[in-house]
Amino acid sequence: MQSMELLLVGAPGAGKGTQAARLAATYEIDHITTGDALRANKDLDISDVEGPYDTPRGYMDAGELVPDAVVNRIVESAIDAADGYVLDGYPRNRSQAEHLETFATLELVIYLDVGTEELLRRLTGRRVCADCGATYHVDFDPPEQQGRCDECGGKLQQRDDDRPAVVRERLRVYREETAPLIDFYEDRDLLERVDGEADPDTVFAAIERLLP
């Protein structure tokens, strides 16, 4: 398969994870997320990076926020090991984007454009079984019996992270920290916009038409 260096950007709920996973499977490239990269490299030697720990595991075990310098190192390691990749969730801010330019050459940045109301509908509609952890959505994947899990009959609940006030705060942080990357990559003639409100198959087809 052709090697690719891609980045998906968009707000929480825009569908980055879904589309990145499909791209990775279809084109046999790595799907690199910050969380996965952290878990895969938690014992990476970062003793030369200023901070209290010599490995990312120290931050993770302490429940502390992993600083940008450590995240940058971990993503760099993941990209070095990849033969083609799609980035999902990194970079999150301009500082990370500028650092990414020092060790990677993106071919294409795809912005999944989804309106605020649709994002709220997607993010606040998730329901999780309190007993077995099965996940549903009130609009897109409802259970057969309202409020009850199809798998075990357990009660479905809305996680705190999916409550409207929390979701609005997540979107505020995105607009403040990550949305400026749209202009950042437009200025570099790398950005292409895709209507992220279409169904997943239509979105994927639109992405494929843009691939280098």
> What's the pLDDT tens digit per position in 121-160?
999 999 999 999 999 999 999 999 999 999 999 999 999 9
* Active-site choice (16, 22, 73, 122): 16
Residue 2 has a pLDDT of 61
Each residue's pLDDT tens digit, 5-31: 999 999 999 999 999 999 999 999 999
Structural domain count, the chain: 1
* Active-site choice (92, 94, 121, 193): 92
Residue 12 has a pLDDT of 93
Read off the pLDDT band of 162 (50, 70, 90). Answer: very high
* Active-site choice (22, 73, 122, 126): 126
Residue 179 has a pLDDT of 96
Reply yes or no on whether 170 is catalytic. Answer: yes
Average pLDDT score over residue span 168-188: 96
Do the domain assignments include residue 49?
Answer: no
Do the domain assignments include residue 187?
Answer: yes
* Active-site choice (42, 94, 148, 170): 170
Do the domain assignments include residue 124?
Answer: yes
Domain range spanning residue 106? Answer: 5-29+83-210
Burial class for 49, CB neighbours closer than 10 Å (0-12, 13-18, 19+)? middle
Read off the pLDDT band of 67 (50, 70, 90). Answer: confident
Do the domain assignments include residue 55?
Answer: no
Reply yes or no on whether 175 is catalytic. Answer: no
Reply yes or no on whether 155 is catalytic. Answer: no
Do the domain assignments include residue 58?
Answer: no
Do the domain assignments include residue 171?
Answer: yes
Tokens 């509609």 correspond to 125
Q: What is the CATH number of the domain that holds 184?
A: 3.40.50.300
Instruction: Retrieve residue 71's tokens.
Output: 């995240």
Q: Taking all residues of the chain, what is their mean pLDDT, rounded to a whole number?
A: 93
Reply yes or no on whether 16 is catalytic. Answer: yes
Residue 172 has a pLDDT of 95
Q: What are phi and psi of 182, to 5 degrees?
A: -60, -50
Each residue's pLDDT tens digit, 32-48: 998 888 888 888 888 88
* Active-site choice (159, 163, 175, 188): 159
Do the domain assignments include residue 158?
Answer: yes
Reply yes or no on whether 126 is catalytic. Answer: yes
Q: Please give, one letter per residue, the 3-state secondary structure of the chain.
A: CCCCEEEEECCCCCCHHHHHHHHHHHHCCEEEEHHHHHHHCCCCCCCCCCCCCCCHHHHHHHCCCCCHHHHHHHHHHHHHCCCCEEEECCCCCHHHHHHHCCCCCCCEEEEEECCHHHHHHHHHCEEEECCCCCEEECCCECCCCCCECCCCCCEEECCHHHCHHHHHHHHHHHHHHHCHHHHHHHCCCCEEEEECCCCHHHHHHHHHHHCC
